[in-house]
Structure 1
Amino acid sequence: MEPRISLITLGVADLHRSYEFYRDGLGLPTSRKPEEGVVFFRTSGVVLALYPYSDLAGDVGPGWEVPRSKFTGITIAHNVRERHQVDEVLELAARAGAEIVKPAADTSWGGYGGYFTDPDGYLWEIAWGAFPFHEDGSLDVG
């Protein structure tokens, strides 16, 4: 198997609301509309997809449409090139309607970061300092 993650799909309660949060609030680029049933956002790495939660659970199979817990054990990280960008991204997310669940602060690993949740409670970490970037925007994790 080639080491690659191509797509991360978030099951969302309201596709229009989440589309507006990511497109209008955070400024992620897309050429799709919610009326098409799924929305894809282009990033410097993995494609982020939004899909109705019940449809995604149904695609997996019977018995998967269950309530999500508050903490699923997964976070999505957006690393930034400069320390001050952590605060800028968290402010942008808050203006878009995100809940800041951990304000930006120095981290135990020598960086700087904070967390917000999107309209469906998915946790996003905004972080600076752990890794340099490749030219294509992906992280150089060594």
Structure 2
Amino acid sequence: MTPQRVTMITLSVLNIAVSREFYLKLGWQEAKGGNDKIAFFKLRGLYLSLYSRDALTSDIGMPIATRTTGAITLATNYESPDAVDAAYDTALKAGAIDVTKPAKTDWGGYSGMIADPDGHLWEYAHNPFWSFDDDGYLTGNA
């Protein structure tokens, strides 16, 4: 078994069509296997799935709205503050909720936050202490 690995992140959504369209407008490529209850987006080494709240509630056997699971944010890191601004603007045009406009941070980076149509929080960040490989994927500390 490989430790420290995530293979799927599933976001519960109220309207699969609206959420699917939002991520497509961000430029994400939908993977095969989706239907009117679930959509898959292949990332490097894992998938992001959007799953209708009704279907997820049925699968897990309990109402999602009555359970507190804690807050979570997802993040996308970029190579520069300008790239953060561009991604942030694209998200707003795709229908994102403006949470925090990109700005310099107290830890030396630059970030802003949006929410998708279901309120899932996404941070768009530039961390000058991290590096990227030739394909633009985060490799860790510079």
TM-score with structure 1 setting the length = 0.85
Q: Which amino acid aligns with 1:47?
A: Y
Q: Percent identity?
A: 37
Partner of 1:27: 27
Q: Report 1:74-113 matches (<5 A).
A: 74-113=72-111
Query: Aligned pairs, how many?
Result: 139
Unaligned runs of 5+ in 2: none
Q: Post-superposition, which runs of at least 4 consecutive aligned residues in structure 1 deviate over 4 A?
A: none
Deviation of 1:141 after TM superposition, in Å, equals: 3.1
TM-score with structure 2 setting the length = 0.85
Q: Report 1:1-142 matches (<5 A).
A: 1-2=1-2, 3-23=4-24, 25-32=25-32, 35-60=35-60, 62-66=61-65, 72-129=70-127, 130-142=129-141
- Matched residue of 2:118: which SS? coil
Taking a change above 3 Å as real, the CA distance of residues 68 and 21 of structure 1, as seen in their structure-2 partners, is farther
Deviation of 1:72 after TM superposition, in Å, equals: 4.1
Superposed CA RMSD = 2.3
Structure (1 or 2) with the greater strand fraction:
2
Unaligned runs of 5+ in 1: none
